[in-house]
Structure 1
Amino acid sequence: MALPAESSLLRSARTELADYAGRAAGTQRELAGAFLTTLNTHGESALRKDGPPEHLTASFVVFSPAGDTVLLNFHRKADAWGHFGGHLEPADGSLREAAQRECAEESGLTVRSATGAIAEVHAHDLGSGFSRCQRHLDVVFTGVADPSAAFRASDESVELAWFPVSALPERIMPDLPARVPMLAQAVRALRDHS
């Protein structure tokens, strides 16, 4: 019996994660390896909201070109400030494309990727407001946008706002205060070496 053909998204996700695992260190390398194990175990279903309760998602953390401010959305279900992202769709060609699509849907902005490559991987458990989803294996990209560009909140968000990286809002997703400055530093380093 022949195995079903892999989608281009599954092939791309494996490639993107393997590339990241090859250049990451420590816990990031281990976590990327765990994401790859999930893909190898569950195949296509690991990329779907209706797949296993623990599945991949894609996100964008959007910074100003100077890397000193970050655009966040106040997420209705999470009841907290967070970055843009969500579930993958069959039409997505890669994890990066899924992150860009999610960002465009949630902010109205077309954001360019800072590197085109994964910036970090992050796993987080979800509350009861997220139905059958129990844990997101989030593949994170960084993007850059002009703070003067017009943006709009989607139905999932209450509002969007730019915040200084050094003064993040109080009601923010608990993991972001440690992660945002590190990601901003990487965006600034790329800018400085361009």
Structure 2
Amino acid sequence: EASDLARIRAFVSRHADPFDRRIAQGHLTASALVVSARGERVLLLHHRKLDRWLQPGGHGDPGETSGEEVALREAHEETGLAGLTLHPGAPRPLDVDVHDIPARGEEPAHEHLDLRYLVVAPEHAALAPALAEMRDLRWFAWDEVDALGPDPGLRRALAKARRLFTDRS
């Protein structure tokens, strides 16, 4: 993760708008590790194209300059949850991850430099998933997540999120 953070810092220093999708090398993205109000469960989506369980997240819209802003908007758009907030005690970002995106259609291969934030869902908030982008959206107990086969970066970020909730108990 330290090398990913160094790469992100260098990338941001070279680009006036690091969220700009027109940058050939890649661009910043942001995602949300959405946790239930009491910290007992994490919300993951089954990505339609990648056929994997992931956290909500995505690209910045024109004019967005903050990873926090992008992560909260993407989480709301993809899950339908209203009232999402950043965890007050979590580092911002909680985690970073740089990963390759393969070429698709006219879009060349590039990198996503992902800023990952810990986001808390309000108690009893209703899900209204954007099903066009996913096959499923589901709450999981922490102990259920490993069976889903998360990649090492997501596993690391989820472990950090879980520690923030279990350390306060």
Fold conserved between structures, TM > 0.5? yes
Question: Who is 2:35 aligned against?
Answer: 63
Which residue, 149, 154, 159 being the options, matches 1:181?
159
Q: What's the CA shift string for 1:163-191, capped at 9, x where partnerless?
A: 111111644442223431222212444xx
CA contact (8 A) 2:102 2:108 kept: no
Residue 126 of structure 1 and its aligned partner are, at CA, apart by 2.3
Q: Kindly tell me: are residues 133 and 62 of structure 1, through their superposed partners in 2, closer, same or farther at Cα, counting changes over 3 Å?
A: farther
* TM-score, normalising length: structure 1: 0.74
Residue 128 of structure 1 and its aligned partner are, at CA, apart by 4.1
| Deviates further, 32-41 or 171-180 | 171-180
Larger radius of gyration: 1
Q: Kindly tell me: are residues 69 and 173 of structure 1, through their superposed partners in 2, closer, same or farther at Cα, counting changes over 3 Å?
A: same
Which residue, 135, 150, 154 being the options, matches 2:111?
135
User: Percent identity at matched positions?
Assistant: 28
Equivalent runs, 1:18-167 vs 2, <5 Å? 27-28=1-2, 30-44=3-17, 46-110=18-82, 111-115=84-88, 117-129=92-104, 131-146=107-122, 148-154=124-130, 155-167=132-144
Classify the secondary structure of the residue corresponding to 2:15. helix
* TM-score, normalising length: structure 2: 0.83
CA contact (8 A) 1:74 1:159 kept: yes
Residue 85 of structure 1 and its aligned partner are, at CA, apart by 0.6
- In the alignment, structure 1 segments of 5+ residues that lack a partner are 1-26
Structure 1 residue identity aligned to 2:129: A
Name the structure, 1 or 2, with higher relative contact order (CA <8 Å, separation 6+).
Answer: 2
Q: What's the CA shift string for 1:20-64, capped at 9, x where partnerless?
A: xxxxxxx43x432321211222332x3112222321101100011
Bigger helix share: 1
The separation in 2 between residues aligned to 1:113 and 1:144, in whole angstroms, is 6
- In the alignment, structure 2 segments of 5+ residues that lack a partner are none
CA contact (8 A) 1:82 1:172 kept: no
The separation in 2 between residues aligned to 1:147 and 1:79, in whole angstroms, is 29
